[in-house]
Amino acid sequence: MSDPEVYSVDKAATLDAINQVVRQNESMLGALIAVANDGTQTLLTFERDPPKPTQKARLLLTVGGTAVIPPGSVKVCEGTALITGQKIDVVAVRP
């Protein structure tokens, strides 16, 4: 097992921009395994071991602090991202 890779995203990024980073990095690195922040940026952790996921993860906002998983999707992880400068709870799902 290789070490996971942490990729940082500027705190001003939108949810769409963060999801684009997730898609790109899952194609190059491997599966998203964690979402966090350090107060200045969103930290996305990717597993670098193959195989890379064919269905890419996406972040969704939680609703009242509850992760709402769309039908046909599975939860990958939960965390707090910095979206347009605000700390917002998110859930990552994969179809």
pLDDT tens for the chain, 95 residues: list them.
578 999 999 999 999 999 999 999 999 999 999 999 999 999 999 999 878 899 999 999 998 888 889 999 999 999 999 999 999 999 999 99
Q: In sequence order, what are the residues at sequence separation of 6 or more whose Cβ sits closer than 8 angstroms to the Cβ of residue 64?
A: none
> Which of helix, strand or coil describes residue 86?
strand
Alpha-carbon distances of 89 from 21, 39, 49, 59, 65, rounded to whole Å: 18, 13, 27, 10, 7
Q: Write down the pTM of the prediction.
A: 0.93
